[in-house]
Structure 1
Amino acid sequence: MSLPLFPLNAVLFPGCVLDLQIFEARYLDMIGRCMKQGEGFGVVCITEGSETGDVPDGFSMIGCEARVTDFQKQDNGLLGIRVVGARRFRVKDFSTQRDNLLVGDVEWLDDPQEQPLQEEDDDLVALLAALAEHPMVAALNMGLTASGQHSLANQLAYLLPFTEEDKIELLEIEDAEQRLDAIQDLLDEMQGDMQA
């Protein structure tokens, strides 16, 4: 499966919302094509290099498909789009087009069935509810309610201030319970660092 790739300093998760400002010709063309064809594009996290200009020196080989849900011209004249994360994928190979657009040969990763929330998830559910009240999070209109362990894990991994490297590792974990355990471990580390 061939998928246009958009390297960003961010990690997108399934079911999560991301607002982007588009100004480079290669991405304006890509968004136009995706919207005409009703298709998505792939968000991959930059590991070396920058978001603008040439192809970054390094990016994650695991990413998340982004589907455009809304768009508008911004006050600054740029195109603003809102995307929602769909399927996860792994980049098997990639090439760079003449306009510097990256195109990946990707394989879709199976997303496990939603698992019901357990009693031990209560603290993390409460944390998600607290995050939902933050004005920046509320502005995303993600409808932050966890329908199960999978959506809880995706939303927390996306919203919490973990490093991009940690988020890439979380995106790779298929099992929702394991991802929630990994999130809890990262939270415990953060708390330990704050107390030190």
Structure 2
Amino acid sequence: MADHDTLPLFPLHTVLLPGAALGLRVFERRYLDLVRDCGRAGTGFGICLILDGQEAGAPAMPAAYGTEAIIEDFDTGEDGLLALRVRGRRRFHVLRTRVRDNGLVVGEIAWAAPDADDELRAEHGLMATVLEKIYEAMGQDAAALPPEQIDNAAWVGWRLAELLPLSDQQRLAVLQEDDVHTRLDRLLSLMD
């Protein structure tokens, strides 16, 4: 890991994975400010699993690993709350946190190295088939999946981690794994 940075954190009772989309409803002032600041600066914010605390109210204790969220779309919901659609981008490790006066948690983070652009190994080949079957069960055309993606070890791993019925703790363990093939081994053991 390299490149230390600071990143505002949005602790949630979910794990955002690289490439995954997530819908958020924003109503607390600290998070409305965060969205405004990120929109003005064209930057993202970090989403970490809550280890202790709640999503609203007092600042929650976030997990030491998270994913940068980039805002893709926003709207006002029928309830008048800000509705966001974000997508996970880079993984990071939280080195330490501080809480601003408004209750926003800010992390000093180290960005994780980008995933290797490795092809699926033979022992993980079945995982691409499982992913295609999941897409078909969801009513999506598996044949439309880009062939360069369905052979990419990192992409297959992230999509399986997103779509398999895993607990948040299991997803967090997958998120913390740096090696794409070890990540697939972990997912394979969870599928057993």
> TM-score under structure 1 normalisation?
0.86
In 2, Cα distance between the equivalents of 1:65 and 1:147?
A: 25
Match for 1:130 among 121, 128, 133? 133
- Corresponding residue to 1:93 among 88, 91, 96: 96
> Following the alignment from structure 2 to structure 1, what is the Cα–Cα distance between the partners of residues 167 and 106?
26
CA spacing shift, 1:146–1:70, aligned 2, 3 Å: farther
Gaps of 5+ in 1: 189-196
SS of alignment partner, residue 67 of structure 1? strand
How many residue pairs get matched? 184
Indicate conservation of the 8 Å contact 2:69/2:88, yes or no: yes
Which amino acid counterpart does residue 106 of structure 1 have in structure 2? I
Distance 1:134 1:37, change over 3 A: farther
Please state if 1:6 is matched with 2:47.
no
Structure 1 residue ranges (4+ consecutive) displaced by more than 2 angstroms after TM superposition? 117-123, 129-138
Structure 2 match to 1:105: 108
Runs (5+) with no aligned partner, structure 2: none
Query: Residue type of the partner of 2:155?
Result: S
Give 1:151 shift.
Answer: 0.8
Other-structure match for 1:146? 150
Matched, 1:159 2:163: yes
The one-letter code of the counterpart of 1:30 is L
Q: State the identity %.
A: 34
Return the alpha-carbon distance in structure 2 between the equivalents of residues 74 and 131 of structure 1.
30
How big is the shift at 1:134? 5.3
- Matched with 2:75 is 72
Provide the rounded CA distance (Å) in 2 between the counterparts of 1:120 and 1:131. Answer: 19
**Equivalent position to 1:33, from 6, 26, 37:** 37
Tell me the amino acid that sits aligned with residue 165 of structure 1: Q
Q: Provide the secondary structure at the position in 1 that maps to 2:150.
A: coil
Q: 1:187 to 1:22 in 2, by over 3 A?
A: same
Which residue in 1 is equivalent to 2:176? Answer: 172
C-alpha separation between the residues in 1 aligned to 2:139 and 2:35? 25
Query: How has the CA–CA distance of structure 1 residues 59 and 134 changed in structure 2, closer, same or farther, with 3 Å as cutoff?
Result: farther
